Copies of this chain bind each other. A is one copy, B any other.
């Protein structure tokens, strides 16, 4: 389990645990909205929170997803009034995305939930090991 291959397997299971942990947790939040935006919806809100307003293109880059997926998901979130779209004043092709107040509210709840899910998964690691892991992952 020390080959690159093993790393892939472990990382896969790690992500799976985050995913199903969040799925379970979000249901307890009692937020219909949170449940209805899907994992990607939450990911988008969290990403926007790190730097808004953000062009669609940058969101695509950061999330490493296809732009056509983004278009659809953004439309969903916009229809649910969680994000707001404005035209870029200097480039007519560019849409800038921001969180609405409601979107920001949900984003905070989701981020707290996600943090606690990940904390739980990381609990077998010491503080030092956790920051080691963070650094290694960030490096790649």
Query: Could you tell me which A residues sit within 8 Å of B by CB distance?
Result: 1-18, 20, 43, 46, 63-65, 111, 114-115, 118-119, 121-122, 124-125, 129-140
Contact = CB atoms under 8 A, between A and B. Distances in A.
Nearest to A131: B2
A14 B140 contact: yes
A115 B138 CA distance: 20
Contacts of A43: 12
A69 to B, nearest CB: 12
B5 A11 contact: no
Contacts of A16: 63-65
Nearest to A4: B118
Given A11-B18, A14-B11, A20-B64, A5 B136 contact: no
23 contacts: A4-B118, A4-B122, A4-B130, A5-B46, A6-B134, A7-B118, A7-B134, A7-B137, A8-B18, A9-B46, A11-B11, A12-B18, A12-B43, A16-B63, A16-B64, A17-B64, A121-B140, A122-B140, A124-B139, A124-B140, A125-B140, A133-B133, A136-B136
A121 B117 CA distance: 26
A-B complex: 9 closest residue pairs judged by Cβ atoms: A10-B137, A4-B118, A16-B64, A133-B136, A2-B134, A4-B119, A5-B115, A8-B118, A15-B15
